[in-house]
Amino acid sequence: MTLARPFRALPAATPQILTFVLVLLANWAVFPDFFDLRLQDGRLFGSLIDVLNRGAPVAILAVGMTLVIATKGVDLSVGAVMAIAGAVAATLAADGQPLPVILAAALSVGLLCGLWNGLLVAILDIQPIIATLILMVTGRGIAQLVTEGQIVTFTHEGLIAVAGSALLGLPMPVVIALALAGAVAALVRFTALGLLIESIGVNRTASTYAGVDSRSVLLAAYGVSGLCAALAGLIAASDIRGADANNAGLWLELDAILAVVIGGTSLFGGRFSILLSLVGAFVIQAMNTGILLSGYPPEMNLIVKATAIVLILVVQSPAATRLKGFFGPKGGRP
């Protein structure tokens, strides 16, 4: 019997879930109060909630990045797009524009950036790493132009609520990240988009010859990635109540790529799982938080992160799969 599509990722998900649990347990070991939650003013507080809240921007980036990587591409510009969207939002907020206008403007800018990347990749056939590098570099310049070189701050209640409010006891960024991941996962799995993305990622020529509209699918993937980046940028701006064109989202594209890789999507394209990318993003944040809580110098963070990533990749590597063949049933991936 074959499993229905949404459940198919489950057997393959074991390393990610296991890693997440291990990292959480490690945090608990160095900081016994780690799992403590308390309810105050209808909001949950605690280290675990912090992990989810802090991890939300990368989780949101990872959602879009998953689609792009599944097409055998990569989007290096998401950090810069965060900065642009944040700059646009902050400038409009400082100007006193209503929240719907701010959201619409920032998201449109993000979508536009994504479509620009998609245009370079799908129509002009430029390699994704180069195509998105262009916006990665110029994006911060554009963001600075928007803020006219200043750090723009605002006191706009509506925009502050994007990161500052809570829903069902959870911080709004966590709600946004989960809702977005759920929505995009539903979009790709309940339409044929998921199949077409995987097909293009594995073999674009063959897919095109089979009549797949590869260009539109690629445009859609990069467009979604741009949208996700804008959303993450909004949260980042709302969080610090301002826009810092130089530092907003800096290096987060790398965390997003890492999250996707930890989530088991191959950089060679093909099979992907948005929900596992989300787990990947939270694994990264849990490690960050763990280092902070343990009192180790933050410099250790990078080394611990690298070690954990090496471990995960080794577990996922073909060599490990061969080894597993001796112990368990064959063909973990259907």
- Residues engaged in binding another protein (CB under 8 A): 2, 4-5, 190-193, 195-196, 198-199, 202-203, 205-213, 217, 270-271, 325, 330, 334
CB of 333 to another protein, least distance (A): 8
Nearer to another protein, 200 or 236 (CB): 200
Nearer to another protein, 183 or 192 (CB): 192
Quick one: tokens of 63? 């959602």
Nearer to another protein, 297 or 334 (CB): 334
CB of 4 to another protein, least distance (A): 6
d(CA 109, CA 246): 18
Q: Which residues, 6 or more positions from 254, have their beta carbon under 8 angstroms from its beta carbon?
A: none
**Does residue 72 come out as left (phi exceeding 0), alpha (psi in the -120 to 50 range) or beta?**
left
* DSSP letters spanning 295-313: T--THHHHHHHHHHHHHHH
Q: What is each CA distance from 239 to 82, 112, 123, 244, 259, in whole angstroms? A: 13, 24, 37, 12, 22
CB of 185 to another protein, least distance (A): 14
CB of 74 to another protein, least distance (A): 18
Q: Which amino acid is at 169?
A: G
In terms of Cα–Cα distance, which of 180, 278, 282 is closest to 224?
Answer: 180
Residue position matching structure tokens 């250790």: 300
CB of 7 to another protein, least distance (A): 11
CB of 207 to another protein, least distance (A): 6
Nearer to another protein, 179 or 210 (CB): 210
CB of 124 to another protein, least distance (A): 17
**Cβ-contact 314, 322 below 8 angstroms:** no
CB of 46 to another protein, least distance (A): 40
Quick one: tokens of 210? 């089979």
CB of 220 to another protein, least distance (A): 8
Nearer to another protein, 200 or 235 (CB): 200
- Number of Cβ atoms within 10 Å of the Cβ of 151: 15
Nearer to another protein, 67 or 243 (CB): 67
Quick one: CA torsion of 113, 114, 117, 119, rounded to 10 degrees? Answer: -100
Nearer to another protein, 50 or 213 (CB): 213
Residue position matching structure tokens 């928007």: 146
Q: What is each CA distance from 233 to 86, 143, 187, 198, 218, in whole angstroms? A: 5, 11, 22, 28, 23
Nearer to another protein, 38 or 330 (CB): 330
In terms of Cα–Cα distance, which of 22, 51, 16, 58 is closest to 34?
Answer: 51
**Does residue 333 come out as left (phi exceeding 0), alpha (psi in the -120 to 50 range) or beta?**
beta
Nearer to another protein, 87 or 197 (CB): 197
DSSP state of 151: -
